[in-house]
């Protein structure tokens, strides 16, 4: 496996690969992606390469976390092939489950080992997207990926489609094939729940209307106090822990938007009626330890040390950790013993919790996918 990485920040940035990349991952600031057309230029330069990537809420380049840059990572495998697929959400009337099913149906089934997906971060129900993908794949095929970000703006997200073109309201996947490929993954949080369990008394899909019979937005604002005026961005600091049954581990849900008219909250994934939610808060040491635990899980079971890793961490973690944010990336690098790393801060993370569970949507986690050949 050959890997090279470049950081693009302005027109003076040089991107000179010493080999012809088979696969190009591009993660970057939305405005910079749109104004530079760097992916289009690379597509012209490497017409046989396939692309994956998206806009971000921060970019990861090895052990550094950056803003307002574009991270470009080129890979040429020795004995691994890739196939691609993409879906426009508008074409299927924004049905996230149908998007997932169609996305994987376009990938050849024979020999498929792993699927990495990038999605619009604002118009997709991540829970339904994962369900649709899982239903369309055979047992043993794993899924990881993330929802695109847009800083703390929540205005518009874009993805980079397999041909290098930029798209909004779209989902794209890369399928990996080959017996020589070993893939690991792990996802952990590190947030602390507090207060009482509260029942969701009215919701529809990923929109929460009432908690304990009270308007959800009003109740949530009462939790946040002065920070309520900064919603929805301040909601990243206080996600909800949600469990929809007694026998399932809680998952974290982050607010993507609010509606003052009907007093509702919109989340990246489902909040089923009858489920229980608790407010969460951050502890910096616990967040960094969570990233380390995710790396330990991602390293488990690999045939060799990871050569390449994609990190998808939540924008909420970045806002909480502030100047300490690089410590969670450094902790991952130390556990994985120094692979080339790329990735981004997201509006949602897609991965199994560990090797013995199914893929699902997470919020406020560090999610890691490792590759070795």
- Give pLDDT, residue 192: 84
Q: Considering the chain, what is the average pLDDT of its residues?
A: 92
The predicted model scores a pTM of 0.89
Give CA–CA dist 360/351, Å, rounded: 6
- Give pLDDT, residue 300: 84
Give CA–CA dist 136/103, Å, rounded: 9
Using DSSP, state whether 296 is helix, strand or coil.
helix
Q: Is the pLDDT of residue 132 over 90?
A: yes
Q: Please report, for residues 63, 123, 220, 321, 358, the alpha-carbon distance to residue 311 in angstroms, rounded to integers and kept in the order given.
A: 11, 22, 30, 16, 19
Give the pLDDT confidence of 319-352 residue by residue, as tens digits: 889 999 999 999 999 999 889 999 999 999 999 9
Residues 6+ apart with CB under 8 A from 55: 28, 29, 30, 33, 121, 148, 149, 150, 157, 158, 159
Lowest mean pLDDT among 94-108, 215-229, 230-244: 230-244
Q: What percent of the chain has pLDDT over 70?
A: 99
- Give pLDDT, residue 363: 87
H helix intervals, the chain: 30-36, 38-45, 96-105, 126-136, 216-224, 284-299, 315-321, 325-336
Query: What are 152's strand-pairing partners?
Result: 150
Give CA–CA dist 351/369, Å, rounded: 8
Q: Match 């619009």 to its residue by tokens.
A: 120
Mean pLDDT for 43-58 is 97
Using DSSP, state whether 18 is helix, strand or coil.
coil
- The ranges assigned to domains in the chain are 2-188+286-372, 192-281
- Give pLDDT, residue 32: 95
Q: Please report, for residues 191, 237, 282, 289, 328, the alpha-carbon distance to residue 320 in angstroms, rounded to integers and kept in the order given.
A: 11, 7, 7, 14, 12
- Give pLDDT, residue 107: 97
- Give pLDDT, residue 282: 78
Q: Is the pLDDT of residue 57 over 90?
A: yes
Using DSSP, state whether 69 is helix, strand or coil.
coil
Note the residue count of the chain: 373
- Give pLDDT, residue 237: 83
Mean pLDDT for 107-126 is 95
Give the pLDDT confidence of 257-314 residue by residue, as tens digits: 899 999 999 988 889 999 999 988 878 999 999 999 999 999 986 767 899 999 999 9
- Give pLDDT, residue 303: 67
Mean pLDDT for 214-235 is 89
Residue 237: exposure state from Cβ atoms within 10 A (0-12, 13-18, ≥19): middle
């Amino acid at each position: 496996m050959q890997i090279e990485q470049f950081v693009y920040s302005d027109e003076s940035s040089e991107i000179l690969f010493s080999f012809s990349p088979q696969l190009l991952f591009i993660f970057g600031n939305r405005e910079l992606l749109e104004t530079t057309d760097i992916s289009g230029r690379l597509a012209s330069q490497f017409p046989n390469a396939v692309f994956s990537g998206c806009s971000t809420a921060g970019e990861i380049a090895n052990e550094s976390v950056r803003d307002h840059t574009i991270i470009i990572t080129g890979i040429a495998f020795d004995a691994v092939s890739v196939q691609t697929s993409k879906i426009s959400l508008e074409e299927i009337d924004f049905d996230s489950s149908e998007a997932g099913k169609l996305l994987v149906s376009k990938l050849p089934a024979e020999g498929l080992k792993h699927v990495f997906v990038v999605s619009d971060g604002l118009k997709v129900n991540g829970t339904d997207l994962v369900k649709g993908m899982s239903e369309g794949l055979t047992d043993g095929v794993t899924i990881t990926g993330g929802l695109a970000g847009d800083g703390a703006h929540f205005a518009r997200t874009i993805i980079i489609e397999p041909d290098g073109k930029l798209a909004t309201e779209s989902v794209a996947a890369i399928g990996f094939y080959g017996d020589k490929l070993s893939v690991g993954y792990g996802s952990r949080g590190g947030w602390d729940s507090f207060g009482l369990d509260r029942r969701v008394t009215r919701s529809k899909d990923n929109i929460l209307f009432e908690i304990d019979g009270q308007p959800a937005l009003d109740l949530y604002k009462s939790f946040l106090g002065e920070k309520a005026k900064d919603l929805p961005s301040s909601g990243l600091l206080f996600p909800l822990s949600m469990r929809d049954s007694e026998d399932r581990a809680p998952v974290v849900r982050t607010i993507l938007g609010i509606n003052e008219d009907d007093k509702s909250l919109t989340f990246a994934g489902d909040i089923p009626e009858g489920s229980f939610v608790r407010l969460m808060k951050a502890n910096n040491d616990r967040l960094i330890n969570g990233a380390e635990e995710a790396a330990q899980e991602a390293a488990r079971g690999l045939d060799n040390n990871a050569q390449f890793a994609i990190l998808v961490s939540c924008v909420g973690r970045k806002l909480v950790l502030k100047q300490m944010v690089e410590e969670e990336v450094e902790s991952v690098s130390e556990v994985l013993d120094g692979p080339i790393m790329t990735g981004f801060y997201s509006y949602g993370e897609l991965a199994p919790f560990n090797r013995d569970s199914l893929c699902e949507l997470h919020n406020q986690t560090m999610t890691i996918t490792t590759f070795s050949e």
